[in-house]
Amino acid sequence: MSDVIVIENLTKYYGKFLALDNLSLKVPEKENIGLLGPNGAGKSTTLKILCGLLKPTSGKAFIEGIDVITQPEKALSRIGAIIETPEFYSYLTPEDTLNYFGRLRGMKGEKLKKRIKEVIELVHLEKWSKEKIGKFSRGMKQRLGLAQTLLHDPSVLILDEPSLGLDPRGVVEFREIIIGAGKEKTVFFASHQLVEVAQICRKVAIINTGKLLAFDEITELEKKYQTLEQAYLKVTGGV
């Protein structure tokens, strides 16, 4: 099985602050990997570099063998991403927004129309598909964010706290959608919700202060530390 996401010695400074310190990680194809770590550990920075939003100070990152830093557009064509709480243009409707982003990815005509209908139904926004997004709650925007992530049926999903702002029913539905998608796709998924990560992922990477501290199967971590929570606490804080 080939590695779909490859991170090699990634280092990122924000001014003098070291956010990523020679981070290296490989995510195999069709594997669901959880990225865990406390606030400021470097999770979002890692995902933002993979999505071409940030440039690393040094190091390399590849998506399906494509260099994210030198060929960002080509690499981005392979991924669907939610980074932070997604914000949309408040004057557009979900249909407008999905049409916009779908067309930017080369989708058009009946195929695009059909796919928009499918993803809107998947995230249960049918009643709101023609309403301006300015009226939407945070949870509804999160649902729309997931719809745009899945719109072009990418082979790689990069998700940063994707269930943030969702109500309990939304969290469950969201998890089921990601688990379903994860059977066919590679999912790289940052979250603070250990229970959620354990339900979606087989393996986790734990990082802190920009360094990789552990990268193993959840069952192995549970054998070693009794629970995933204990593993997280001991690895990140020495508790």
Partner 1 sequence: MSEFDKLGVVIRYEFLKHIRRARLYIILGIALVAEALVLILIPALTDGYPESVKVMAGLLTVGASLAALGAVFFAGDAIAGEYEGKTGFLLFTNPVKRETLWVGKYLAGFIAVALLMIFTYFIQAIALLIIYQQVPVEIFQSFGIAMFYAAATLSTTFLFSAISKGSMGATIMTLVFVWVICGILESVLAFTGNPYWFVLSAGGDAIATAYGSLEQFLAGLGGLGSLGGADQMATMFKMPTLGMVSWGMAIYFVGGFVASIFLAKRRQLA
Residues of the shown chain interacting with partner 1 in the complex, contacts defined by CB under 8 A: 14, 45, 48, 51-55, 73-74, 76-77, 79, 81, 83-89, 91-92, 96, 99-101, 103-106, 132, 145, 148
| CA-only gyration radius of the chain, Å | 18
By three-state DSSP, how is residue 150 classified?
helix
Nearer to partner 1, 103 or 223 (CB): 103
Strands of 58-63's sheet in order across: 17-28, 3-14, 58-63, 66-67
Using the minimum distance from each CB to partner 1, give the nearer residue, 73 or 184.
73
239: tokens are 């508790």
Q: Residue 151: how many CA atoms within 13 Å on its side-chain side? A: 29
* CB 61, CB 7: distance < 8 Å: yes
The minimum distance between CB 54 and partner 1, in angstroms, equals 5
Please report how close the Cβ of residue 238 comes to partner 1 at its closest, in angstroms.
Answer: 29
CB of 76 vs partner 1, minimal distance in Å = 4
Minimum distance between the CB of residue 25 and partner 1, rounded to whole angstroms?
Answer: 20
DSSP 2: -
- Its sign, for the CA torsion 215, 218, 223, 229, is positive
Q: Provide the terminal-to-terminal Cα distance of the chain, rounded to the nearest Å.
A: 36
Nearer to partner 1 among residue 49 and residue 218 (C-beta): 49
Take residue 15 and report the two structure tokens written for it: 């001014």
What's the CA gap between 196 and 85, in Å, rounded? 17
Among the listed residues 144, 51, 159, 160, the one whose alpha carbon sits nearest the alpha carbon of residue 92: 144
CB of 26 to partner 1, least distance (A): 22
Rounded Cα distance between 184 and 17, Å, is 38
Task: Tell me whether residue 158 or residue 221 sits nearer to partner 1 (CB atom).
Answer: 158
Beta carbon of residue 222, minimum distance to partner 1 (angstroms, whole number)? 34
Cβ proximity to partner 1, 91 vs 183, nearer residue? 91
158 or 231: CB nearest partner 1: 158
